[in-house]
A and B are shown apart, each in its own frame.
Chain A
Amino acid sequence: MRYKTQKIAYWFFAACMLLFTLQIIYGFIMGFARMGYDGLHEIIPFNTARAVHTNLLVVWMLSGFMGAAYYIIPEESERELWMPKLAVIQLVSLLLVGVTAVIGYHFNYWEGRKFLEIPRELDYLVVINVLTFLLVIFMTIWKGKRKTTTAMVLFFGLLAAALLYLPGMITFKNIVFDSFFRWWVVHLWVEGVWELIMGAMLSFLLIKLTGIDREVIEKWLYVIVGFTFLSGILGTGHHYYYTGAPGYWLMVGGVFSALEPLAFLGMAMYALSMAKKGGRKHPNRIALMWTLGCAVMSFVGAGFLGFAHTLPGVNIWTHGTLVTAMHGHLAFWGAYAMIILAMISYVLPEMTGRSLYKSWMAEWAFWTTNIGMIGMTGAFGVMGIAQVYMERKAGMDFLEVQESLEVHAVGLVLAACLMTAGVILFIRNFIAYGLPVDPTETGGSSGAAGSAAGAFASSKKS
């Protein structure tokens, strides 16, 4: 870490840890309900738990992206953040809006629009908040010494994410229109511009961790995000198959979303080959594990499992079943949760000056969370496929089918326990690092990590 104001990122990441924990708790409430234990039904019915679970996910990921941007942009632009006080205000207000929304969900204060449940009044506050964030980032880049590709891709990803939030705020009386534009936000975020943000974070981490020339990494970054948009924009069509839109979306959505795995495959191959070519070993191996793990798991979760049910002939049966939950869990984990955890693993030693690279907790956190997530995905997959055959193909009664799936929900909850154990280790390790300290004159934080990273940087120059 070279700039004092980069420290702000720490608090965004701390917020991630807090919100992630809450998200998991609400996940358990739903897991138990699926097992048949819905004792909290009167206080936290399923739709409340579900809205809280998905919205906390979005908020902690936005918080993670913002933290990453506050860390990356000063380093790329080679200057301190512009008006760092705004960044602090922005974090506090983001948390206030997020927490208000989540509390509101317990009192029927929401909109029944999947993933966009935040009530309209709070939407405006979100917009103001994100504009503030973008202003700080933009001014920092504008006044900075250099404008790197990584910084620009990150900025435009964030800007596009903000702009694409707006179609979700238009009110329609007709649910078919409402659904059409809801996917502009949800799909074009997660299978479009969020991948720009993810790609930029990946490229920043690879530059730092492998020592490979920036020009090479950034060239491939363009290729990857090029493939993302080539497949992802028209791939939105896979949400328009059966929601009232014309039949040509079956063709358009089918063809282009079948290409989506290529973008993720490209990303995985790119990250793995860069790491292999890199040769030099940055001491922070755990951050590299998360980075490469992210590239691989996003291909498996978002690419492969997405493809598994994206073709119209398959989707006519799987649409609206737990098969979607199977894909959704591993996709979000692999693509976005892991890139943020990779970023956190990289910045903690840089910020705090402590080198806990060899901590057993960090390594166990990586493996247990991933094995747990794969187990959960398997359980959702079994439940989803069984549901498709029993309910959709054989026409059995919905409740009867759900009751016969309860035994698999036990597997789901057990896998979730393993995953949670990993998250606890990760957070324990996060706390063990302590608070961030100011960078020293020579660059890099004081202490072992700073000097180790410094040595790495200087060895790269020679």
Chain B
Amino acid sequence: MLTKSAAKAFFLGGTALCAVAFLLLTLDTLAELPKRSHVEDMTDQVVRGHVIWNKNNCMGCHTLMGEGAYYAPELTKVVERRGEPWMDTFLQDPEAFYPGRRKMIKYDIFDNEAVGAEVAAGNRADVIAFFKWVGNIDTNGFPAKPDLVPVGVASNVDPRIMARAPVYFQTVCAGCHSVGGKGGNVGPSLDGVSARFDADYLRKWVSDPQAVKPGTTMPTLGLKGENLDEIVEYLGSL
């Protein structure tokens, strides 16, 4: 029959053994972490981005490497998924991208009008740099790629239409609009948009949606010059 002192020895012995094993593994892990997190790429900009992440408790809604609060999207591979131009535009006014849906806090530090265009752009670049760095951490395969995606492609989908779009369109516009069956479904599909509107109208609409249709949920993206020409030209080809 087990005695109390034997039970005590089991407790103390087992605990000591496991604690030692845990500490040894910890030492090895601490030696590995700099390599696995590519500490050499951790620039001042990345560190500033981390500070912004931390100061505003972003993981109180989002998850990063799966850690956080499950109220907002997982961000480990966000740069790969969305691209930098989309993120840069989104952060300026998150609600504009998903009108009437679940809200993200609109942070002044990212808003050109609240803190000045230069500071705001710098802050946005900092967090994007941070996410880019996080995206390269060796996370043992997390997040896993979806494995229940249908293999076949519907006949009316033509990915080539999206493939020839300017980068800005693929990353920013496609967040809400689709062409050839690819892209978001927040705004209307843009297939055949050139048949419905002429180039002048599209140019006015893209550069200042509120002037054309007050109250519209289409965000003002601040597109100018060549970028605007490129987009209008692409829309004209659809």
Contacts and interface: CB of A to CB of B under 8 A. Distances in A.
A219 B4 contact: yes
A112 B57 contact: yes
B146 A50 contact: no
B185 to A, nearest CB: 8
Contacts of B30: 177, 180
Given A176-B36, A180-B33, A233-B22, A223 B67 contact: no
Looking at A36, A176, A246, A250, the one whose CB has the most chain B CB atoms below 10 A away is A176
A399 B104 CA distance: 12
B102 A393 contact: no
Contacts of A105: 57
A233 B19 contact: yes
B195 interface: no
B47 A173 contact: yes
Interface string B88-110: 00000000001001110100000
A45 interface: yes
Given A46-B69, A114-B67, A246-B36, A230 B15 contact: yes
Nearest to A316: B144
Interface in A211-263: 215, 218-220, 222-223, 225-227, 229-230, 233-234, 236-237, 240-250, 252
A402 B142 contact: no
Nearest to A387: B70
A246 B142 contact: no
B54 interface: yes
A51 B58 CA distance: 11
B153 interface: no
A51 B60 contact: yes
Given A233-B18, A243-B67, A317 B57 contact: no
Interface of B: 2-4, 7-8, 10-11, 14-15, 18-19, 21-22, 25, 28-30, 32-34, 36-37, 39, 42, 47, 50, 53-61, 63-74, 98, 101-103, 105, 134, 137-149, 184
Interface of A: 30, 33-34, 36, 38, 41, 45-48, 50-51, 105, 108, 110-114, 117, 149, 173-177, 179-180, 215, 218-220, 222-223, 225-227, 229-230, 233-234, 236-237, 240-250, 252, 316-317, 319-322, 324-325, 387, 389, 392-395, 397-399, 402-403
Given A222-B11, A245-B32, A321-B70, 19 more contacts: A47-B56, A51-B57, A112-B58, A112-B59, A174-B37, A175-B50, A175-B134, A222-B8, A237-B25, A242-B65, A242-B139, A242-B140, A245-B33, A252-B25, A316-B141, A320-B66, A322-B70, A392-B146, A397-B184
